[in-house]
Structure 1
């Protein structure tokens, strides 16, 4: 009898403990089910921003209004990754016109800053912080371009929630508090940072109420005065004066002459699905190059998590990133061969370089025949927005113009200082960009709007999400929660060349046997933490119009609908 009771107790214990982590349905690694809703959906990296997006949709706004409102909110609640001192890229599915549009709202380098200045300082690369990496912030102009073409509600209503939260305050989440605290050592020496982000002598702790009255005032001026209030009004004058005080070069004229560009997204067809990215100066086409090579293999039969799959993916990534380092740059300054780089013929040529049993130490770029937030919204009419925005390295350059409530970006760090490089610094030039929104269509209809924030990891993660969905049959949440592969150490658009093959980092979930096989193939494995990106996605059922939302379990991501 005692044995029976003991056995029953063990069984009950096992059952109860299993319920803590085993899923009743779906993949075991998924953190939660997809969010499913009919009238609208938003997925952002911070729950308060998602709620603001839904509020705008419920007020009669469309997906574009909701995206702008959420982005403004994220600039307040997640200043560690974005803000109006940074740039923006977006893709919009226009349900009425049944067309995908692309927007490049990235800014250019100061026109008065010459390459010779960096040379006179003896620099081999552009500094990460201070006045020198600052380029024109394009986000606000991006908002108004999106709103002018597709918006529905007045901009005053769109920005109202972020203004209220900036005035009244909000409780800081754990992850944002952590990253703000980490920024103090690097950025607190710059004027304006302490008064904006350290009102009590330190950055706010988890759960503490943080207010940003300077940003509230800036948003109010933008809401009433339009984009010119930022680029030609008092805000522009304050920015220019501050930058001059700090020994910088960004001027009022640089801000006043800024423009965004509507661009045609580019795509490749992956097993019947069209995967869309924006052309350079961003790195989006690297994901298309990776997918073109992977399509030449039977990925499904390799199996998710196998050493064969991981090895092939890493080698395909290396190939794409060598082209990224050489060719990706501002297309107004170079003839970047986009069509050739994303062609199936080129992928066939590059595939021949991959050894199935050996990791390459390096590849040469092919010959030519060149911290962030991501969010996505969708509305009842079928409009969908894929938007990404960033200050680049963490909170940005540290340049915090007095009283404005935001930090200027440091995207200019990504220019190369080699004069013969495609991405070489030049006045009035857009730097290479890491931030990339993505979109997938099927038979000319919208399927998935998605992105994965995370610097150079983004094209790698884009390709993995696509393969998770299409090759491995995962649902939208599983595709984001699945353990990820990260290869680091490729040649860079700033001029550094990969010589040793770099290293591979694998999230928990890949077997010890797989890791051993990869080492035997010559891969160097290295553990890293927090570098696997931040995913948000919305999928639309083409038959019913129902939306499925998914968000990032690695960060503060939140998907919600109604």
Structure 2
């Protein structure tokens, strides 16, 4: 009787969602689509399309605008992108993540009393990746000049009416901002007054940043004047940022405030093109960046979930929520131990982790009547014909790899009860997203981040420094693949997504939100693939979040980051019947009125030859189509 009731509830939930009117209308277009985290930045994308640019040009314009508007990121942060090239019919992965600077070692940070690198300040900074990533994309896949693409951002830097969210972030963070002289100069426009940050609607001017962007344009112009090609001229601007006078001032300002970044660190760093990772879920090829991001978590979860009839369970029924929660926990446990920068030893066992046989083994661990609070990393090595070199380490850490014993309890107290509000804030630490597509077939999905408020600005560049160092570990027992080292990229949460069906673009999607990104993207994808929602319905639909994972951001003590087994965030609209069933399964429930994250996405309607855009109603995200 219980199973029949659960199925009935699931059907009712599914039907109500599919019939529900969305809070935002879906976007429609036949020529192009531009979606990002700020309305003015979406306008920058639309302006670029209207001037004849392609999706890469528009994406770069939106990226530049969001950085200039401090949409939870700055120019000194990091960029990671998936690009569909219609000429080759291939998905390209762009790795424009900065690296740990010279001197960034476990011993250095431990000597300062840290269990993880710090959350804020100059010591949190990797080398800037966004400028190089933007210029690489534009030079290789765009059609416009850097000057054309940066024009909207330069207008914004000259002065734009600041939004309340950004202005209030500056005011909330003003005590930290006052530690850093160059940040204080830029952000606290009313020093000594009760409110020192700008007011909403005030024209916010960034003279130093405008000068930096102007220098990039000047370098491009000078190269073009000498007869250089469009691409080479853009790379002349790149050189000025990473080896020229901009680099010198960035490094001077960073080191003056206690940072580690050197001129050699900037000169050695390069954006990288990589092969994306992918799995096929019921005929849909889903693409993610490599294991220096958390992106493969979604791929692992999809492999596990193919072993269950999710549609029969019903959207957000108790069995559905339970099954996804368990699949995500299994995948995140592997992420937390096995993911890292593939350019540094040891080699991550990605072939095993993404194998269908390994997914079946992991799926067999799911008990359908209760949460398993003691999920730990699995052993993917036999699934690529190898022996796990970390069995001893895993046992020392407290994980028993013999699945017949089912003893995955770590020695540390995973039930540590630090403030749930603080934990939740760290779980959700945000970024922004950029989605663009055009009628020629170019598609771009970007999840840029870093340099969020309160940010340390490097000297007189106007460029806020990244805070991504905090995603490294200092202790190999937590993750031997992600221990900080100079020149290494941290394992980040940033995770744009793309899906192809029958060899053609199907979905391009991304979301902000730290460790919740692939949780929300998994549910968004299933909302469409399993339950037939429109892209706007899927972006607004109620999701849930698991806290049973190690946090990637926030807190410099181990206790700050430990998993919260069984803790689940549900939407306020979750029916009492579902709540009761989940409690019986051992879940600890909390609730919020908005739980899907600010998802932005583009769906490709090949039947009608048009785009559908979805832009979340849970933030300032905005899209424009034509």
TM-score (ref. length: structure 1): 0.91
Q: Which residue does the alignment assign to 2:175?
A: 185
Greater alpha carbon shift after TM alignment, 471-480 vs 292-301: 292-301
* Equivalent position to 1:258, from 264, 269, 291: 269
Gaps of at least 5 residues in structure 1 are: 1-23
Q: Deviations over 1:201-239 (max 9, x none)?
A: 322222222121221111111233211121111111111
Aligned CA distance change for structure 1 residues 185 and 436 (closer, same or farther; 3 Å): same
Is 1:485–1:506's contact at 8 Å kept on the other side of the alignment?
yes
- Secondary structure of the residue aligned to 1:331 is coil
Deviation at 1:253, TM superposition (A): 1.0
Deviation at 1:532, TM superposition (A): 4.6
Q: Deviations over 1:483-533 (max 9, x none)?
A: 111111413468778565141001232212211211110011123577752
C-alpha distance in structure 1 between counterparts of 2:57 and 2:615, whole Å: 20
- Secondary structure of the residue aligned to 1:322 is helix
C-alpha distance in structure 2 between counterparts of 1:74 and 1:531, whole Å: 23
Q: Which residue does the alignment assign to 1:508?
A: 572
Q: Deviations over 1:384-436 (max 9, x none)?
A: 101110016x426x321232223101100111111452211111111111111
Whether 1:341 and 2:353 are equivalent positions in the alignment is yes
Deviation at 1:458, TM superposition (A): 0.7
Whether 1:95 and 2:86 are equivalent positions in the alignment is yes
Deviation at 1:459, TM superposition (A): 0.9
Aligned CA distance change for structure 1 residues 529 and 325 (closer, same or farther; 3 Å): farther
Q: Deviations over 1:255-275 (max 9, x none)?
A: 111111101111111111111
* Equivalent position to 1:289, from 295, 300, 305: 300
Q: Which residue does the alignment assign to 2:118?
A: 127
* Equivalent position to 2:375, from 363, 376, 383: 363
C-alpha distance in structure 2 between counterparts of 1:511 and 1:172, whole Å: 40
Q: Which residue does the alignment assign to 1:527?
A: 591
Residue pairs, 1:127-166, within 5 angstroms: 127-166=118-157
Is 2:571–2:594's contact at 8 Å kept on the other side of the alignment?
no
Q: Which residue does the alignment assign to 1:205?
A: 199
C-alpha distance in structure 1 between counterparts of 2:347 and 2:624, whole Å: 42
Greater alpha carbon shift after TM alignment, 345-354 vs 532-541: 532-541
Whether 1:219 and 2:213 are equivalent positions in the alignment is yes
Greater alpha carbon shift after TM alignment, 242-251 vs 201-210: 201-210
Whether 1:273 and 2:273 are equivalent positions in the alignment is no
- Secondary structure of the residue aligned to 1:262 is strand
Residue pairs, 1:53-452, within 5 angstroms: 53-77=45-69, 79-167=70-158, 169-201=159-191, 202-225=196-219, 226-333=237-344, 334-367=346-379, 368-369=381-382, 371-391=430-450, 394-395=452-453, 398-419=455-476, 421-452=480-511
Is 1:328–1:493's contact at 8 Å kept on the other side of the alignment?
no
Gaps of at least 5 residues in structure 2 are: 1-15, 220-236, 383-389, 391-429
Aligned CA distance change for structure 1 residues 25 and 401 (closer, same or farther; 3 Å): closer
Q: Which residue does the alignment assign to 1:10?
A: none
C-alpha distance in structure 1 between counterparts of 2:601 and 2:334, whole Å: 28
Deviation at 1:186, TM superposition (A): 3.2
Q: Which residue does the alignment assign to 1:557?
A: 621
C-alpha distance in structure 1 between counterparts of 2:584 and 2:476, whole Å: 40
Is 1:56–1:158's contact at 8 Å kept on the other side of the alignment?
yes
Deviation at 1:47, TM superposition (A): 0.8
C-alpha distance in structure 1 between counterparts of 2:106 and 2:593, whole Å: 36
Q: Deviations over 1:436-490 (max 9, x none)?
A: 1000100110111110111000111111011000111100000010011111141
Is 1:27–1:478's contact at 8 Å kept on the other side of the alignment?
no
Q: Which residue does the alignment assign to 2:385?
A: none
TM-score (ref. length: structure 2): 0.82
Is 2:170–2:188's contact at 8 Å kept on the other side of the alignment?
no
Aligned CA distance change for structure 1 residues 540 and 423 (closer, same or farther; 3 Å): same
C-alpha distance in structure 2 between counterparts of 1:530 and 1:253, whole Å: 45
Is 1:448–1:537's contact at 8 Å kept on the other side of the alignment?
yes
* Equivalent position to 2:533, from 461, 474, 478: 474
Q: Which residue does the alignment assign to 2:612?
A: 548
Q: Deviations over 1:253-297 (max 9, x none)?
A: 101111111011111111111111111200000011111112211
Root-mean-square deviation over aligned CA pairs: 2.0
Deviation at 1:382, TM superposition (A): 1.4
Deviation at 1:303, TM superposition (A): 0.8
Q: Deviations over 1:172-193 (max 9, x none)?
A: 2233333333332333322211
Is 1:112–1:249's contact at 8 Å kept on the other side of the alignment?
yes
C-alpha distance in structure 2 between counterparts of 1:27 and 1:189, whole Å: 52
Aligned CA distance change for structure 1 residues 197 and 257 (closer, same or farther; 3 Å): same
* Equivalent position to 2:29, from 25, 37, 45: 37
C-alpha distance in structure 2 between counterparts of 1:359 and 1:25, whole Å: 26
C-alpha distance in structure 1 between counterparts of 2:514 and 2:621, whole Å: 17
C-alpha distance in structure 1 between counterparts of 2:572 and 2:19, whole Å: 15
Aligned CA distance change for structure 1 residues 126 and 529 (closer, same or farther; 3 Å): farther
Is 2:543–2:595's contact at 8 Å kept on the other side of the alignment?
no
Q: Which residue does the alignment assign to 2:523?
A: 464
